Amino acid sequence: MARTASLSGFPEWLPEERLVELHVLDTLRRVFELHGFSSIETRAVETVGQLLRKGEIDKEVYGLSRLQEDEGEAKGKADPHALALHFDLTVPFARYVVENAGYLAFPFRRYQIQKVWRGERPQEGRAREFTQADIDVVGDGDLPFRYDVEIALVIAEALSALPIPDFRLRINNRKLAEGFYRGIGLDDTAGVLRSIDKLEKIGPAKVAELLKSELGATDDQAQKALQLAGIRTEDTSFVAQVRALGVSNDLLDEGLSELEQVIDAAVQRAPGKVVADLSIARGLDYYTGTVVETVLVGHEQLGSICSGGRYDALASKGNRKFPGVGLSIGVTRLVSRILSQDLARASRSVPTAVLVALTHDDSWDAAQDVAAQLRSRGIPTEVAAKAEKFGKQIKFADRRGIPFVWFTDDDGTHQVKDIRTGEQVVAAPETWTPPAEDLAVQVSTAAEPAAAAV
C-alpha cells in the first residue's frame, strides 16, 4: 500500500484506508459530542486581511482567483479583500464567533473537523491539504480557567480512544514563562520564547548564545531561562522545582497555579498521559496562558499531533472580548502514520456484510426484495448485477472481504454462506442477522511495532 500521492502533499486514501480515517473521525466526533461540544463548519476561504490580521504569519497561504475573471478584476496579493484558503481552524472560528455573537450561547463549546491548506514543502507528517479536528470553548468577556483543565482532559480521552500508540500531552503556561523571564530581568519575553522554542532543534548551548547575543542576557539570566526550560515532571512537583530557582513574580505565581491545576486534574483523570514540560513555547502564536503540544511515544520525530492553548485576545468586537481555549488534533498526520506503519486496519474494504447472489438473470427483482429486508434491519447488503457462476459471485464477495453470500433456490429456499468458513445455513430474510462483529466494518489495532521507551 506504499502508493505515492499523484500530487505531492495532497494525500488520498484507498477505500480500506479511508475506513481507518472514518473510524478516527467518528471516534473523535463521538467523544466531543459526549462532552457537549457542538459541531460547526466555517467556509474554506477567508479574506487575506482576516488571515493576516494578527500580523506576519509563518504559514504559507494559498490565494484564490477566478480562472475566468477579467484582467481588470484581478486582485493583487496585497488586497485585503482577496480570498485565500484557511490555514487553520482557530482564526476562522474567532471570526465566526465575532460575527455570530448575537446568536450563540456563551460559554460556547464547539468542535470543528475540516480540511485546511498550507503551501509548505511536503514531508512525512506535513501535507499541503490536511484535516484538523479542533475543540474550543469561548467565553463572552471572561472564561473560567476550569475550561483549560477540561479541554486537556477531553483531548486525552479522545486520543485514548484512537488506534494510536501511547501519547503525552506536554503542557506549559505562557504566564509562568513570561513571569519568570521578567522576574530574572528579561523583559523581551516574546524574544526569549522564540529562542527557547528552538531548544529541540539547536540545543541549549546555542540557545544560550542567542539569548546573550540577541537579547543581551547575562550568563546567569541565560542559565536560569534554560534551567526553567529543563523542568519536566509527571506530577505537580514542577512547582517546587521552579520555586527552588528563587525567582519571584506575580505573573509567575499565576502561571504556576494554573499549570498546577491542569496537572493535578490530569494526574487523577488521565494518569500517565500528561506532563508539565516547561520547554513548550508554541512559537509566534496568539496564546496567552496554557500551551500544549502532544507527541506519540516512540514517534516523537513526527512532531506534535495535537497542539493549542489559551488565547485571551484573538477575538473581539469593539470593547467586547471573547477569550478562548482550544486544542487541535492533526488527523491527517495521525492517519498517515497509522497507515504507513500499519498500526490499525479495517476488517474489510467495503461496508457490505451480505452479497445477494443471482441464480438467474431474472431473479434480480426477487434478490432486491431479500436485500431490502436485510437493509431494513440495518444489514449493509449488495445485490449481484449478473447471474454469473456462483464461484464467480463468491469471488466478487471474497475480493472485497464481504463475509456472507445469500442464495435463493428456485423453490424459494434461502441459504446464507459464511465464505470464510464455508458454513452454509438455511435462513429467512426477515430474521437472519450476522454476528455483531460482522455487521459493520471493524477497525482494530494491529500488533504494535516495538516502540521506544518514554
Q: Which of residues 262-321 bind its own copies (CB under 8 A)?
A: 265, 268-269
Q: Does 439 bind its own copies (CB under 8 A)?
A: no
- Please enumerate in sequence order all residues whose Cβ is within 8 A of that of 442, keeping only pairs 6 or more positions apart, or say none: 346, 347
Coil vs helix vs strand at 77: coil
Q: Does 115 bind its own copies (CB under 8 A)?
A: yes
Q: Does 366 bind its own copies (CB under 8 A)?
A: no
- Chain positions 19 to 38 lying near its own copies, rule: CB under 8 A, are 19, 22, 33-38
Coil vs helix vs strand at 368: helix
- Beta carbons of 412 and 370 less than 8 angstroms apart: no
Task: Compare residues 365 and 410 and give the one whose CB is closer to its own copies.
Answer: 365
Q: Quote the CA–CA distance of 132 and 247 in Å, as a whole number.
A: 39
* List 20, 48, 226, 329, residue binding its own copies (CB under 8 A): 48
On whether 245 is known to bind a ligand per the annotation, the reply is no
Residue 25: burial class (beta carbons within 10 Å; 0-12, 13-18, 19+): middle
CA atoms within 13 A on the CB side of 128: 13
- Chain positions 322 to 351 lying near its own copies, rule: CB under 8 A, are 349-351
Q: Does 60 bind its own copies (CB under 8 A)?
A: yes
- Beta carbons of 285 and 269 less than 8 angstroms apart: no
* List 8, 49, 80, 100, residue binding its own copies (CB under 8 A): 100
Q: Does 103 bind its own copies (CB under 8 A)?
A: yes
- What count of other Cβ atoms lies within 10 Å of the Cβ of residue 76? 8
Q: Does 12 bind its own copies (CB under 8 A)?
A: yes
- Beta carbons of 95 and 46 less than 8 angstroms apart: yes
CB of 12 to its own copies, least distance (A): 6
* List 244, 385, 425, 426, residue binding its own copies (CB under 8 A): 385
Coil vs helix vs strand at 416: strand
On whether 236 is known to bind a ligand per the annotation, the reply is no
- Beta carbons of 249 and 186 less than 8 angstroms apart: no
CB of 322 to its own copies, least distance (A): 16
Residue 422: burial class (beta carbons within 10 Å; 0-12, 13-18, 19+): exposed
* List 8, 49, 64, 317, residue binding its own copies (CB under 8 A): 64
On whether 128 is known to bind a ligand per the annotation, the reply is no
Write down how long the chain is: 454
CB of 200 to its own copies, least distance (A): 25
Task: Compare residues 93 and 180 and give the one whose CB is closer to its own copies.
Answer: 93
* List 88, 150, 178, 293, residue binding its own copies (CB under 8 A): 150
On whether 132 is known to bind a ligand per the annotation, the reply is yes
- Beta carbons of 117 and 62 less than 8 angstroms apart: yes
Task: Compare residues 22 and 297 and give the one whose CB is closer to its own copies.
Answer: 22
Q: Which part of the chain contacts its own copies (CB under 8 A), choosing from 91-99, 201-209, 239-247, 334-342?
A: 91-99
- Beta carbons of 259 and 169 less than 8 angstroms apart: no
CB of 112 to its own copies, least distance (A): 10
On whether 88 is known to bind a ligand per the annotation, the reply is yes
CB of 374 to its own copies, least distance (A): 9
On whether 287 is known to bind a ligand per the annotation, the reply is yes
Q: Quote the CA–CA distance of 49 and 52 in Å, as a whole number.
A: 5
- Beta carbons of 44 and 61 less than 8 angstroms apart: no
* List 132, 172, 294, 352, residue binding its own copies (CB under 8 A): 352
Q: Does 119 bind its own copies (CB under 8 A)?
A: yes
* List 243, 320, 392, 399, residue binding its own copies (CB under 8 A): 399
Q: 236-243 contacts: CB < 8 A, separation 24 or more?
A: 236/260, 236/263, 236/264, 236/267, 236/276, 238/263, 238/276, 238/278, 242/176, 242/180, 242/278
Q: Which part of the chain contacts its own copies (CB under 8 A), choosing from 62-70, 190-198, 249-257, 315-323?
A: 62-70
- Chain positions 211 to 270 lying near its own copies, rule: CB under 8 A, are 265, 268-269
- CA 111, 113, 114, 117 dihedral sign is positive
Q: Does 121 bind its own copies (CB under 8 A)?
A: no
CB of 97 to its own copies, least distance (A): 11
Q: Does 392 bind its own copies (CB under 8 A)?
A: no
CB of 4 to its own copies, least distance (A): 10
* List 274, 331, 383, 405, residue binding its own copies (CB under 8 A): 383
Task: Compare residues 202 and 372 and give the one whose CB is closer to its own copies.
Answer: 372
Q: Quote the CA–CA distance of 283 and 353 in Å, as a whole number.
A: 49
What single-letter DSSP state applies at residue 72?
Answer: G
